[in-house]
Structure 1
Amino acid sequence: MSDRITVEELSELMKKAAGVTVAPEELQRGYDSGFDTFGVDSLGLLGIVGELENRYGTPMPPDAERSKSPRQFLDQVNGALLAGA
């Protein structure tokens, strides 16, 4: 388990926790697009955050579940993981 979430891992989490299949390449192309562009709503994002909290055994930043884009989400989550939050 790495200390950074990649686009590939986010793609897997989107499928597992939100039930939305998006290829990592498509996610990378739409890095600054809203999650709604990919069909992920607020409950889906909450599921992704919950999955990460279970995986790492630590709370994610409160704003992570309100992220608008994959870039914003990964920046917040990876920042917290690197800081040991």
Structure 2
Amino acid sequence: MSNTLNYPELAELIRARAGVEIDPVELERPGADFDEFGVDSLGLLGVVGELENRHGVKVTNGAESAKTPAEFLALVNSAVTAKAGA
């Protein structure tokens, strides 16, 4: 089992932590932007906090400021992967 975050998991975390329901397929769409889904940095901060608790790793500073789901996943997964390789 991989510790990396994927779009369905991200959609579930956003629903749980930001209260916004998003189809994971929409998150994967090229050019998808958190603003269009109504997810702000405060919502992403909740997602980051949950991920840090879950994985015991400090997620890269600035992940909560990511503009797109793809950018967010890249930042989070690089932090999780770096810890796994440590």
Normalising by structure 2, we get a TM-score of 0.89
- After TM superposition, the structure 1 = structure 2 runs for residues 4-43 of structure 1, keeping only pairs within 5 Å, are 4-29=4-29, 31-43=30-42
1:6-40 Cα shifts (integer Å, max 9, x gaps): 000000001001000001112112x4322111110
Count matched residues.
Answer: 84
Between the aligned residues of both structures, percent identity stands at 52
Q: Aligned equivalents of 2:56 and 2:19: distance in 1?
A: 22
Give the ranges of 4+ consecutive aligned residues of structure 1 lying more than 3 Å apart after TM superposition. none
Structure 2 residue ranges without an equivalent (≥5): none
SS in structure 2 of the partner of residue 62 of structure 1? coil
SS in structure 1 of the partner of residue 63 of structure 2? helix
Q: Aligned equivalents of 1:71 and 1:11: distance in 2?
A: 12
Q: RMSD of the alignment, in Å? A: 1.5
Structure 1 residue ranges without an equivalent (≥5): none
Q: Where does residue 54 of structure 2 map in the other structure?
A: 55
In the alignment, is the contact (CA less than 8 A) between 2:58 and 2:79 conserved in 1? no
Q: Aligned equivalents of 2:63 and 2:43: distance in 1?
A: 12
Normalising by structure 1, we get a TM-score of 0.90
